[in-house]
Structure 1
Amino acid sequence: MKLTRNNQQETQKAPAENFSGGDVYISGSFAGEEPSRVTGATVTFTPGARSNWHTHPLGQTLLVTDGVGWTQCEGEEIVEIRAGDIIWCPPGHKHWHGASATRAMTHIAIQEHKDGVAVNWLEPVADEDYAKGLAS
C-alpha cells in the first residue's frame, strides 16, 4: 500500500494552454503503478474558469466535491453540476467542464491512460459559448 499524506501534496496552477476564463489549481495528483492505467487529481476552478474542449481515450469520471460548475458535451446544452454529482464522460466524447460564472467548483477527475495518453486537449471554449450557461 502507498499512502500519500495531505501535507505531502502540492497544489499547482494548471497550465494556461489547457484552461481559460480564470485560475485553475491542481492538487493531489495520482497515478497507479503498472499495470494500472488510472490517473487523477483534485481540480479547483475559480468562477468563470473552465477547461478547453477535450477527449479521453478511455473516458473520465468526475466527482464534484464543492461548489457549482458547468459541463457540456459537444452538440448538447450546458448542464449545471453541484457538490455530490458524479459525471461519466465516455471514451472519445468531446466535452469541457469548469466553474459557473459566479461560483468556484472543485472536482476529483479520474481517468485511465491508453498508450501513455489520458487526455487529448483541443481548442478553448469560446466566451460566448460559455456565457450560454447563464441561461441554464
Structure 2
Amino acid sequence: MSYLTIYKAGSRPAQRANPDYFTGTVWLEPVIDAPGPARISAAKVIFEPGARTNWHTHPYGQTLQVLTGAGYVQVEGQERLDILPGDTVWIPPHVKHWHGARADSVMIHLALQEKEGGSAAEWLEPVSDAQYKAG
C-alpha cells in the first residue's frame, strides 16, 4: 500500500480559468487539491497582462507567492498594492479582495488556500476597468 501520491511534472497541464470568476486570460496549473480531512488547495496561476480575479473571499484566508512578473492586490476600501517576484501576500479569512497582473506584464503566482464545505473561495462581482485602473 502506498501512502504517497506523486503528480509527475506535466501530467496535469494548465487549464483556462473559469471566465465567470476572472477578467482577461488566466490559466490555472493545479498543485494540490488534497483529499479530506486535509483542506489545502493550491495552484500556479498565470495572468496575462491586465487579467485579474473577481472580488472574492476565502473562508480560511489565502497566501499568494509571486513567482514572476508584476501585479496588483487590493483589499476592498484600501489602495491597490504592487506585488513583485518574491513577495508573499497573506489575505485574512473573509476579507474581500482581488489580484491580478499589471496591464504591461504577465504575473504568475502560487495561490494557497483551504477549503470549507468543498469550496476555497466565495466569488463575487468582477473588478471593473475603472476599479482596476484607479490604483
Which interval holds the TM-score relative to the shorter structure?
over 0.9
Q: Partner residue of 1:87?
A: 89
Deviations 1:20-54 (A, max 9, x none): 1x200001242112210000110000000000000
What RMSD over aligned residues (CA atoms) do the two structures have, in Å? 0.9
* Aligned equivalents of 2:30, 2:128: Cα separation in 1: 29
* Aligned equivalents of 1:69, 1:132: Cα separation in 2: 14
Q: Whose helix proportion is higher, 1 or 2?
A: 1
Deviation, 1:101, is 0.9
Q: Partner residue of 1:13?
A: 16
Q: Partner residue of 1:26?
A: 28
% identical aligned pairs: 45
Runs of 4+ in 1 over 2 A off after TM superposition: none
SS where residue 39 of structure 1 aligns? strand
Aligned length: 132
Q: Partner residue of 1:105?
A: 107
TM-score norm. by structure 2 comes to: 0.94
SS where residue 133 of structure 2 aligns? helix
TM-score norm. by structure 1 comes to: 0.94
* Aligned equivalents of 1:102, 1:46: Cα separation in 2: 9
* Aligned equivalents of 2:12, 2:51: Cα separation in 1: 22
1:64 and 2:76 correspond:
no
Q: What runs of 5+ residues in structure 2 fail to find an aligned partner?
A: none
Q: What runs of 5+ residues in structure 1 fail to find an aligned partner?
A: none
Q: Partner residue of 2:78?
A: 76
Q: Partner residue of 1:120?
A: 122
